[in-house]
Amino acid sequence: MTTDLSRRTLLALAGGTAALGLFPAPASAAWPDKAVTVVVPFPPGGSTDMVARQVGQKLAERLGQPFVVENRSGATGAIGATTVARAQPDGYTILVASIGVYATNPFLQPKLQYDPLKDFDLLTVAVRAPNVLVANPKFPANTVAELVAELKKKPGKISFASSGAGSSDHLTAALFWQKTGTSGLHVPYRGGAPAISDLVAGHVDVSFQNINAVISQIKGGNLKVLAVTGDKRSPLLPNVPTLSEAGVSGADVFSWQAIAAPKGLPADVKAKLHGEIVGSLNAPDVRPRMEELGFEIVANTPDEFRAFLVQELARWKEVIEVGKISLE
């Protein structure tokens, strides 16, 4: 009797196991079991690319699969972002992009083919960094007050270099003009490097640049710094005032890089991916390196990222509309 029961039990178990084989576990259960593509919608070498490679390398170490950075530049990041928005939401394609892609392109590109709030699973704001207001060493103004005086004396004449129309540095300049009741001459370049080069050479007067892009030029005496745009002083430049301290309120600005994926990630993949990204950003061999470069680790939750993005969209929409800014 016992023998028959045991035999029937074993047969039932065997049949159940075979039946389970007909319905394999969802693919997400093993994520990742192959390489993950990390799309950076800008050329190699910039701040966003730097963040993507640091995080991607650490994710590969933690998860045992390659995280391959692909630079798909064009249209101020819109080409790469659109590629990710249209990719399969399976966790094997992610986007590392900056403020422009998420918060300003919707108001600068009428034919934009993605919606940052609707077409992505927002994972985390990875890092942020203040911009710095820098000038050619021969430029007469040495303080923000002196720059404002120069701008009022010569409206529309003082040149502000930027890495391109609609870039973070361009929009920071526009916000600065709006808050100080002044106007300057916007000089867009194809990227931050040529803008900084011409600034050092004295071909343009001033610029708002990402702190990590110009810190070596500041310390080398090739540029003078008038202010930082953060809500507190930068540890890299502890003696430099914020814009608020210099008398310009409402112009606190951070450049930031954030990570997203195509809308519709399986819940378990989204949770795992977010947790591993946060762990990578806070890793003891990543966080100090980022901070040395001027980045502040944010690593917030998807809900916090969404709430922040809603605020950023509203802010830059107003700046762009008031300044009548376009890419044309």
Give the global pTM: 0.85
| pLDDT of residue 13 exceeding 80 | no
Average pLDDT over all residues of the chain: 91
> What confidence score (pLDDT) does residue 15 get?
45
Q: Considering only 16-20, 52-56, 88-92, which range has the smallest mean pLDDT?
A: 16-20
Overall average pLDDT of the 31-50 stretch: 92
pLDDT tier at 27, thresholds 50, 70, 90? very low
Overall average pLDDT of the 31-38 stretch: 97
> What confidence score (pLDDT) does residue 29 get?
61
User: CA-CA distance, 177 to 118, in Å (whole number)?
Assistant: 32
> What confidence score (pLDDT) does residue 10 get?
40
Its sign, for the CA torsion 9, 10, 13, 18, is negative
| Phi (first) and psi of residue 105, to 5 degrees | -55, -40
Identify the CATH number of the domain defined by range 130-228: 3.40.190.10
Overall average pLDDT of the 99-106 stretch: 95
Please choose, from the candidates 243, 204, 237, the residue with its C-alpha nearest in 3D space to the C-alpha of residue 219. Answer: 237
> What confidence score (pLDDT) does residue 266 get?
97
121 contacts 264 by C-beta, under 8 angstroms? yes
Cα(first)–Cα(last) distance of the chain, in Å? 87
38 contacts 69 by C-beta, under 8 angstroms? yes
% of the chain surpassing 70 pLDDT: 91
Vertex 148, ends 142 and 150: CA angle to 5°? 75
Burial label for 257, CB within 10 Å (0-12, 13-18, 19+), is buried
| pLDDT of residue 12 exceeding 60 | no
> What confidence score (pLDDT) does residue 328 get?
65
Omega before 44 cis (within 30°)?
Answer: no
> What confidence score (pLDDT) does residue 304 get?
98
More confident residue, 235 or 24: 235
Q: pLDDT for 139-177, tens place per residue?
A: 999 999 999 999 999 999 999 999 888 888 999 999 999
| pLDDT of residue 22 exceeding 80 | no
Its sign, for the CA torsion 102, 103, 109, 115, is positive
Identify the CATH number of the domain defined by range 35-128+255-322: 3.40.190.150
Q: Considering only 3-12, 213-222, 314-323, which range has the smallest mean pLDDT?
A: 3-12
Asked, colleague to colleague, whether 35-128+255-322 and 130-228 share their fold, the answer is yes
| pLDDT of residue 178 exceeding 60 | yes
User: Tokens 């590629």, residue?
Assistant: 83
User: Tokens 């319905």, residue?
Assistant: 23
| pLDDT of residue 229 exceeding 90 | yes
**Domain limits, the chain:** 35-128+255-322, 130-228
User: CA-CA distance, 53 to 93, in Å (whole number)?
Assistant: 15
Burial label for 249, CB within 10 Å (0-12, 13-18, 19+), is exposed
User: Tokens 């101020």, residue?
Assistant: 76
pLDDT tier at 28, thresholds 50, 70, 90? low
Q: What is the DSSP letter of 66?
A: -
Q: pLDDT for 233-278, tens place per residue?
A: 999 999 999 999 999 999 999 999 999 999 999 999 999 999 999 9
207 contacts 198 by C-beta, under 8 angstroms? no
Q: pLDDT for 110-126, tens place per residue?
A: 999 999 999 999 999 99
173 contacts 184 by C-beta, under 8 angstroms? yes
